Amino acid sequence: MDKIFIFDTTLRDGEQSPGASMNMQEKFRLAQQFVKMNVDVIEAGFPVASRGDFECVKNIADNVRGIQVAGLARCHERDIDTAWEALKNGENPRIHVFLATSEIHMIHKLKMSREQVLELAVASVRHAAQYTSNVEFSAEDASRSELDFVCEVFEAVIRAGAVTLNFPDTTGYAMPEEFGAKIRYLMKHIPSIDRATVSVHCHNDLGLATANSLAAVQAGARQVECTINGIGERAGNTAMEEIVMALRTRADLLDVATEVVTEQISVTSRMVSTITGMQVQPNKAIVGANAFAHESGIHQDGILKERTTYEIMNPCDIGLNQNNLVLGKHSGRHALHEKIKAMGYTVNDEQLSRVLERFKAVADVKKEMFDEDLEAILMDEVLRVPVSYELLSLGAMSGSKTLPTSAVLMRVNGKEARGCALGVGPIDATFRAIAQLTGTSSKLLYFAVSSITGGTDAQGEVMVRIEDNGTVVLGKGADPDIVTAAAKAYLNGLNRLQYLKNSK
């Protein structure tokens, strides 16, 4: 079988989802997880975009091994120089340069002629190739470009030193049959195509990103650019879990394969969801909560008799533990640590102590502890932004004939602060008390509650989206008490806002 290279851009394009900004610690943690997944390339960021992005890319390139690290750059010498400065200590670092080739972009955005675009593309690739032999060139908005012009540009940049040619469906405009035909046209009309790998980067505006990527693979593309959970600009990108499992499940038809460790998919999906605060919809393919759930009696009967009657994939293949009941309140530090390692996480002694304390507290009030409960605690305790605001305790009172009231004890920038407020409900009262104590003027744009596991004693998971002066962030919190979970989510969002302000 031919190998399909997986180029993950969660840390770059995925971060362009509104509110999905990640800090250095979070990006580094995800980069380490992508090594465990055996992804071929990670696009760590856009180094020239900001000092913070530069430092994140540099930190990953300097310290992560076993994976190619790429940095994005426009066709500007400064962009390319900055990208190399961030990447230069990496293992086989890749400079990824891009330039639009569609008439729409050339006329209205670039204000350049075809000749100027061709000249700039060649000069930029040649400049990048002075630093590294691993240069990728992307023809932005390629799916709406005139194909013969794309072929001309691709042939020229191959001669200038590009070894990967990316043909993006930047606006998610293409249809699968059409997109596959375009890739076949490139394969036939670029004389030096055997010297480069054809890549695709599809967006999901019409819900066709995975279908278009698969059509491209069938037509000869050998690299797919994608993100975990399909996050990204606008409606998102090709979902890595979808493309990888489609290639694995239908290897009989496609005759290609990736080298991704699929058992790490579920862990990585939840890690990205927690870090970005973007929940995965229950009916999302592969990683949604309902992906392997069966409600229909006919389906349940078939599954009990033979799993493959209604499941084309084994849940274990993506890292789901079918026997989810694990530890309890009597479990010790060593057993918890072993379970955490088995789930694919790495924690130090201080983090393990925090996780153990939270785990015991939750286990005291829950009848059963599941993998999902432990994972929620891990995400909250290990993958968290720097804390400016910390919840110490809260008491909320409400009822059909009681005025909802909340009293909050917090640590604000290292100092204890107390406050209380009234609201239309206990959560509203809690948010008002927190807002008073933190002095925030942010607005709550979105509020959602879900259950991590089944049962009335399940941990509640709350996600909020808040905005302050045009900056939108997401916050997430989990706790058996839903009011406490909401307070944690709100504070998580406020801490993200404060982190971004401090970064700027």
- Maximum CA pair distance of the chain? 79
Q: Give the mean pLDDT of the chain.
A: 90
With cut-offs at 50, 70 and 90, classify the pLDDT of residue 358.
confident
pLDDT at 323: 42
For the chain, what percent of residues have pLDDT higher than 70? Answer: 94
pLDDT of 295 higher than 60: no
d(CA 198, CA 327): 47
- Would you state the pLDDT for residue 363? 82
The pLDDT assigned to 177 comes to 98
pLDDT for res 474: 78
- For the cut 80, the answer to whether the pLDDT of residue 413 exceeds it is yes
The residue to which tokens 């969801």 are assigned: 273
498 versus 262: which is more confidently predicted?
262
Residue 307 is predicted with a pLDDT of 78
Per-residue pLDDT of 39-88, as tens digits, reads: 999 999 999 999 989 999 999 999 999 999 999 999 999 999 999 999 99
**N-term to C-term CA, the chain:** 48
**pLDDT of residue 431 exceeding 70:** yes
Tell me what percent of the residues of the chain surpass a pLDDT of 90: 65
Domain limits of the chain?
A: 2-276, 297-382, 389-503
Q: What is the pLDDT of residue 324?
A: 42
- Name the residue with higher pLDDT: 75 or 467: 75
CA distance 66 to 40: 9
Domain topology for 389-503:
Double Stranded RNA Binding Domain (3.30.160)
- How confident is residue 3, by pLDDT bands cut at 50, 70 and 90? very high
Per residue in 305-338, pLDDT tens?
787 888 899 888 998 865 443 467 777 788 788 8
> Is the pLDDT score of 224 beyond 50?
yes
Q: Which of 165-174, 182-191, 462-471 has the lowest mean pLDDT?
A: 462-471
The confidence score (pLDDT) of residue 386 equals 73
- Res 120 pLDDT > 80: yes
In this prediction, residue 38 carries a pLDDT of 98
Looking at residue 321, its pLDDT comes to 66
Q: What is the pLDDT of residue 400?
A: 87
Check if the beta carbon of residue 328 is closer than 8 Å to that of residue 369. yes
Confidence (pLDDT) at 197: 98
Residues ≥6 apart with Cβ < 8 Å to 82: 47, 48, 54, 73
Looking at residue 296, its pLDDT comes to 61
Q: Which of 323, 287, 279 is nearest to 461 (CA)?
A: 279
pLDDT of residue 260: 98
Residues 232 and 17 sit within 8 Å (Cβ to Cβ)? yes
Are 167 and 135 in contact, with CB atoms under 8 Å apart?
A: no
Q: Is 63 left (phi over 0), alpha (psi -120 to 50) or beta?
A: alpha
Residue 483 — very low, low, confident or very high, per pLDDT cuts 50/70/90?
very high
Q: Which helix (H) or strand (E) holds 446?
A: strand 443-451
Fold of the CATH domain 2-276:
TIM Barrel (3.20.20)
What is the Cα 407 distance to its own chain's centre? 36
Beta strands in 270-401 (DSSP E): 389-399
